[in-house]
Copies of this chain bind each other. A is one copy, B any other.
């Protein structure tokens, strides 16, 4: 026999929701909404429903409303959302505008592409230094945003890392862990790596990995799966 107690009423907090309450999955979608709202702004559209905004963002309207509900209540029932207002509120949450400094280590083809990628500046990131171990590359100029940056030697890493908030690792896999260690030692707490290997970091350091090979492998898996089904 079990006895069920009546639940106490859910605590109602009036203060702003803390960032840590927002689910990771929601955080990952905020930039999608932000971008969709941007495009509506450009078109001079003032109001949008969750239905339409969800469509533009590639999610369901239920999910969009749920996601927004973690941030607060920004719409008007029966009407929808003010595009400019919602855009600015989301911008606030994802921190667009308040620039963060980035150092890129490993300036091969990929590092080069990253350094000259316009999307970074647009989203509030400033590439402040490029580092490479190869002496034949050190000193070369690479176009970054408006200006250019000179590639600096590995020895400069601690110095520049101390000025940055985010480290990007675009080296071969073999060098990634050692570069990672140096970044962490210099106080970097956020790392984006393009090397396929798993990085070991102390607690409190956030690592995200982008692995093109892995993405393709997942597609390949699905491709074979479909073939198997149709065969």
Question: Interface on A for B, CB 8 Å cutoff?
Answer: 18-20, 27-28, 30-32, 35-36, 56-58, 93-96, 98, 100, 102, 108-110, 112-114, 116-117, 119-120, 122-125, 165-166, 189-192, 196-200, 204, 206, 208, 210-226, 228-229
Q: Which residue of B lies closest to A28 (CB)?
A: B218
Most buried by B among A122, A125, A217: A217
Number of copies: 2
By the criterion CB–CB under 8 Å, are B100 and A214 in contact? no
Which B residues touch A110, using CB under 8 A?
Answer: 113, 117
Chain B minimum-CB-distance residue to A96: B217
Write out the residue numbers on chain B whose beta carbons fall within 8 Å of the beta carbon of A112.
Answer: 109, 113
Given contacts A113-B109, A225-B19, whether A119 and B213 have CB atoms under 8 Å apart is yes
- Pairwise interchain contact B223-A190, C-beta atoms closer than 8 A: yes
Contact A225:B102 (CB < 8 A) given known A198-B32, A212-B210? no
Q: List chain B residues, Cβ under 8 A from A35.
A: 196-197
- A114 touching B212 by the CB < 8 A rule? yes
Known A31-B214, A95-B220; further 14 A-B contacts with Cβ < 8 A: A30-B221, A32-B214, A93-B221, A94-B217, A102-B216, A119-B213, A120-B212, A120-B213, A125-B220, A165-B223, A191-B219, A208-B218, A210-B212, A210-B215
**Once the chains bind, are B116 and A109 in contact (CB under 8 Å)?**
yes
What residues of B have a CB within 8 angstroms of the CB of A18 in the complex?
Answer: 228
Set of chain B residues within 8 Å of A100, measured between Cβ atoms: 220, 223
Within the complex, what minimum Cβ distance (angstroms) separates A142 from chain B?
Answer: 10
Q: Return the chain B residue nearest A229 by Cβ.
A: B20
Q: In angstroms, how far is the closest chain B Cβ from the Cβ of A18?
A: 7
Contact B120 A216 (CB under 8 A): yes
Chain B residue at minimum C-beta to C-beta distance from A224: B95
